[in-house]
Amino acid sequence: MTPDTMTKISAGLETAFARHGFATPSVEDLRDAASVSLRTLYKYLPSRADMVLAALQHRHQRYLAHLFDGLPPNTAPDTTPETALTHLIRRVGSWMQTETAHGCLFHGAVAADPQNQALKDLLQRHKAEVAQRAASVSSLEGHELALLQIFEGLTQTWALHPEASIKTAEHLAGLLQAAKDQART
């Protein structure tokens, strides 16, 4: 398995599932989205479940890169844990604006195949890693669940209230930071 071929397939599948959902695309549609032959598609990913997992694993890596790559370090002169969290919230908003306005693709995959334990495990790993990394850059270790709820609320309300959802998430993050700061004193 060559990494370039697998990346190409996974990227194409991610795009197809994000645009059309998990039930609609036929195998031929998925083959076309992956830009490979049906034989190659099945060689790398022998089942539809494998295709969904590969697409979501690819999306997981892209999402982490979008949120955390190039984030100003807390050691930068004008960067505090609060501003790092604000940057993250705005990056979630920009992801929603450019990638999807329909909520979380990971939740959509689990909803489409609720008995698939591998999908549930990937959803849990994805959310945990985002929350853990967000807590680390914002100095909110121990508040991962609260951060996850802020991010999840943002992604779920985005379709109805794009700008207001960002402002609300920033406000809630500020309250969380203030509560943490107050608990230390």
pLDDT digits (tens, 9 = 90+) for 19-68: 999 999 999 999 999 999 999 999 999 999 999 999 999 999 999 999 99
Task: Give the residue among 131, 79, 172 at the shortest CA–CA distance from 180.
Answer: 172
Domains in the chain, CATH or no CATH each:
3-184 (1.10.357.10)
DSSP annotation of 185 reads -
Q: Which two tokens stand for residue 19?
A: 């645009």
pLDDT of residue 64: 96
Confidence of residue 9 (pLDDT cuts 50, 70, 90): very high
Confidence of residue 1 (pLDDT cuts 50, 70, 90): low
CA distance 15 to 9: 10
| Mean predicted confidence (pLDDT) in 70-83 | 68
pLDDT of residue 74: 57
Residue with tokens 């908003």: 93
pLDDT above 90 as % of the chain: 77
Task: Give the sign of the dihedral formed by CA 54, CA 61, CA 116, CA 102.
Answer: negative
Q: Which two tokens stand for residue 75?
A: 């050691």
Q: What is the tens place of the pLDDT at every residue in 96-133?
A: 999 875 678 999 999 999 999 999 999 999 999 999 99
CA distance 27 to 80: 48
**Residue type at 154?**
L
Entry pTM: 0.91
